[in-house]
Amino acid sequence: MPNQKLGTQTIAFTTPPVILGHAAVAGKKEGDGPLGQSFDYISIDSYWGEQTWEQAEAMMQKKAFALAADKAGVAPSSVEFLFAGDLLNQCIGSSFGSRESDIPFFGIFGACSTMGEGLILAAMTIAGGFANTVAAVTSSHFCTAERQFRFPLEYGGQRTPTSQWTVTGAGATILSATGNGPAVTHVTPGKIVDLGIKDPNNMGAAMAPAAYDTLRQHFEDTGRRPDEYDLIVTGDLGALGHEVVTDFFAKDGVKLRTYQDCGLMIYDREQQHVDAGASGCGCAATVLNGTILNAMRAGRWNKVLFCPTGALMSTTSAQQGESIPGICHAVAISTVG
């Protein structure tokens, strides 16, 4: 058996798949934020040259994929499988973004955890010996998300202090069986956790228990201490969710010294008026494929635990009074053996 299951939920890759290339594209607001310099492409046009925001989102995925393949030094046509997903109904950002790619396609849905789900499945596809080169792509767009999940933009709906701002951005990662770059060493696919939180304007709190569950399991399965990671980063829990996870671990007597959240990194919360932080599949995707992987290549961080989180709900489930199921997938990335 070439790969090893650790504990109940974690897979350790004997030959860790390498992140050969990665790219992040983002909107103007994200470009103006503290991480703006780390993104490969910024569009000041919210339509990205297209006719609709949904087409813009598909264009963002196309652009992120093309840039990542180019930076990886691989021909797009040599990518053997593509994992992609997004927040739009029936994931049209991904299917329309990939329809001209001519690459066997797996649509995935993990809400804002999608970048993690894609990385896990892409890494498993390579480590299982099924392919040499696989891509994972995801996106979100503030305008498509607002009108689908909340209000028409023209309405100017009031935002609650716990609400999060959907990132306009897409990220793509090209993984390979060989080559140079940070490698995916361990993955801990998450379980759905639902503690009964029903407020769709407080997703961070709804997703935090899932993040705690997956992180705790990852440490237990691998025997690693949180301090071994130069960075532990959840995907878009925002201010409240970050606090909940920190508190949960504190109750276990564990202090997370290197813990950050993508939703707190991408905007200047005060200057950019984003309330509790950022959200959307594009949040963790751009922070990973822009900021984090660039910093790992530059030697700033060697071991990172990337843990994007998702709220697996819809407007229909919220209107029917359902609580919000959360999920979190953990991906350990390392520049060292």
Residue-by-residue DSSP string for 164-227: -EEP-EEEEEEEESSSSS-EEEEEEPPPPB------TT-HHHHHHHHHHHHHHHHHHHH---GG
Kindly report the backbone phi and psi dihedral angles of residue 268, in degrees, each rounded to the nearest multiple of 5, phi listed first.
-85, 100
CA angle 173, 75, 58 (to 5 degrees): 55
Taking CB under 8 A as the binding criterion, the range among 92-100, 221-229, 276-284, 293-301 that sits at the site for its own copies is 92-100
Distance of alpha carbon 75 from alpha carbon 92, whole angstroms = 24
Integer-rounded Cα Rg, in Å, for the chain is 18
Sign of CA dihedral 125, 13, 288, 204: positive
Q: Is residue 262 at the binding interface for its own copies, with CB under 8 A as the rule?
A: no
Taking alpha carbons only, the member of 299, 303, 304 closest to residue 265 is 304
Counting Cβ atoms within 10 Å, is residue 331 exposed (0-12), middle (13-18) or buried (19+)? buried
Cβ closer to its own copies: 144 or 286?
Answer: 144
The first and second tokens of residue 24, run together, are 């992040």
Cβ closer to its own copies: 163 or 291?
Answer: 163
CB of 130 to its own copies, least distance (A): 5
- Residues numbered 201 to 260 that lie near its own copies (CB under 8 A) are none
- Residues numbered 48 to 67 that lie near its own copies (CB under 8 A) are 51-52, 54-55
Choice from 19, 24, 69, 87 touching its own copies (CB under 8 A): 87
Taking CB under 8 A as the binding criterion, the range among 3-11, 35-43, 133-141, 259-267 that sits at the site for its own copies is 3-11
Is 169 in contact with 30 (CB distance < 8 Å)?
yes
Q: Is residue 158 at the binding interface for its own copies, with CB under 8 A as the rule?
A: no
Taking CB under 8 A as the binding criterion, the range among 25-33, 47-55, 150-158, 161-169 that sits at the site for its own copies is 47-55
Count of alpha carbons within 13 angstroms of residue 294, beta-carbon side = 17
Q: Is residue 9 at the binding interface for its own copies, with CB under 8 A as the rule?
A: yes
Cβ closer to its own copies: 81 or 229?
Answer: 81
Q: Is residue 98 at the binding interface for its own copies, with CB under 8 A as the rule?
A: yes
Is 267 in contact with 26 (CB distance < 8 Å)?
no
Choice from 90, 160, 180, 271 touching its own copies (CB under 8 A): 90
Q: Is residue 106 at the binding interface for its own copies, with CB under 8 A as the rule?
A: yes
Choice from 91, 203, 231, 233 touching its own copies (CB under 8 A): 91
Q: Is residue 156 at the binding interface for its own copies, with CB under 8 A as the rule?
A: no
Count of residues near its own copies by CB under 8 A: 61
Residues 6+ apart with CB under 8 A from 4: 11, 12, 14
Q: Is residue 111 at the binding interface for its own copies, with CB under 8 A as the rule?
A: yes
Q: Is residue 15 at the binding interface for its own copies, with CB under 8 A as the rule?
A: no
Hey, is 302 helix, strand or coil? coil
Choice from 19, 127, 208, 281 touching its own copies (CB under 8 A): 127
Q: Which residues bind its own copies (CB under 8 A)?
A: 1-3, 5, 9, 11, 51-52, 54-55, 80-81, 85, 87-92, 95-96, 98-99, 101-111, 117, 120-121, 124-125, 127-131, 148, 188-192, 194, 312-317, 320, 322, 325, 327
